[in-house]
Amino acid sequence: MSDTATKIKDTVTSNDVVLFMKGTKEMPQCGFSSRVAGVLNYMGIEFADVNVLADETMRQGIKDYSDWPTVPQLYVKGEFVGGCDIVTEMTLSGELDTLLEDKGVTYDKDAANKIREANG
């Protein structure tokens, strides 16, 4: 396993929720990263953010690690969840709530419901 893959594995296994994104949760640098970080922040989910723009090996490494071609990428309890479209879909369907509950991750259920109401 490469150093980058080892670093990624350590990051996704030592944090309950990790978002590999362009920019940071305070300052996303692309619309898709901004949308996913916005959902997580709004739902009160504690998450680690990894800025792939700060490290070219990480930018390619995460794509190789997950075998997924784009960033952002969301991991919950070490498991790859998906990118922006998948996270958006799962949020609107309630699937993300179920995943978080199954994995024992704390989030604001009312906020999740508000997102669905606003987009329903």
Stretch 38-65: mean pLDDT: 97
| Domains of the chain by start residue, with CATH | 3-119 (3.40.30.10)
* pLDDT, tens digit (0-9, with 9 covering 90-100), for 61-99: 999 999 999 999 999 999 999 999 999 999 999 999 999
Stretch 31-51: mean pLDDT: 98
H and E: helices and strands count for the chain: 6, 4
Rounded distance, CA 69 to CA 47, Å?
A: 22
Q: Specify whether the CB–CB gap between 6 and 61 falls below 8 A.
A: no
Q: Looking at residue 120, what is its pLDDT?
A: 80
Rounded distance, CA 98 to CA 49, Å?
A: 22
Confidence band (pLDDT; 50, 70, 90) for 1?
confident
Does residue 110 register a pLDDT over 90? yes
* Strand arrangement, sheet containing 48-51: 48-51, 17-21, 73-76, 79-82
Return the structure tokens found at 18: 């990790």
* pLDDT, tens digit (0-9, with 9 covering 90-100), for 8-38: 999 999 999 999 999 999 999 999 999 999 9
